[in-house]
Amino acid sequence: MSYDSHSVAASPLIESDTSVKSLLFLLAILAGVATSAQAVINTQLRARLGDPMQAATVSFTVGAILCWLYCLLSRSPLPSLTSLRSVPWWMWTGGAMGALYVWTSIVVTRQIGVAAMLGLLVAGQMLTSLVIEHYGLFHAPLRPASLTRVAGAGLVVFGVCLMAYSTVRKP
C-alpha cells in the first residue's frame, strides 16, 4: 500500500465497510487493554531492575525484537537508504515519544495508580488530538474542532479529573 507523503487519510474501504471499521475499533480496544497491562507490568519490572529507564529499555528491546521478527517472517522488504533519508526529521521523533510514554508510565503508575495514569494520558491525548486534527499538524487530515468534538473531549477530561483526584493511594 502506498501513501501520499503528505497525507494519512483513511482508505475508502475502511470508511465504507462497517465490519472492517468494527474490527478496527475492537483492535483499538485491545490495544487499550494491552496498554493498561503494560503500565503495571513495566512498573513491576522496574521494581525488579531498580531503575525506570532500565525497565523501559528492556520493554523496548522486547518490542523491537518482536517487530523485527514480524518483518522477517512477513518478508517485508527493508526500506531503502533513499527512502530513509527522505523522511522528515519530525517523523523520527515517534520512538522518542514512545520512550517518554513508557518511562513516564513506569514512574507515575506506582505513585498514582494505573487507572489515574492512563486516564490522564487519555486526557492529554484527547486535547492534543483535537489540536492536531484542527490544524492538520504532521499532515493529519483536517477535522475541525467543532463544539460537539470539544464538548466530548471536555467530558472525557472532566471524567478523568474526577477519577484522578478521587484516587487515594493505599500503602
What DSSP line would sit under 54-115, residue for residue? HHHHHHHHHHHHHHHHHHHHTTPPPPPHHHHHTS-GGGGGHHHHHHHHHHHHHHHHHHH-HH
Give the total number of structural domains in the chain.
1
The per-residue pLDDT for range 12-48, each reduced to its tens digit, is: 555 568 888 899 999 989 998 999 899 999 999 999 9
pLDDT at 11 over 60: no
The per-residue pLDDT for range 93-120, each reduced to its tens digit, is: 999 999 999 999 999 998 888 888 888 8
Residue 64, in any domain of the structure: yes
Task: Supply the range of the domain harboring residue 48.
Answer: 12-87+96-165
The per-residue pLDDT for range 45-71, each reduced to its tens digit, is: 999 999 999 999 999 999 999 999 999
Residues 112-137 have a mean pLDDT of 91
136 torsion bin: left (phi>0), alpha (psi -120 to 50), beta (else): left
* Residue linked to cell 497525507: 7
Residue 4, in any domain of the structure: no
Residue 118, in any domain of the structure: yes
Residue 126, in any domain of the structure: yes
Residue 79, in any domain of the structure: yes
pLDDT at 5: 45
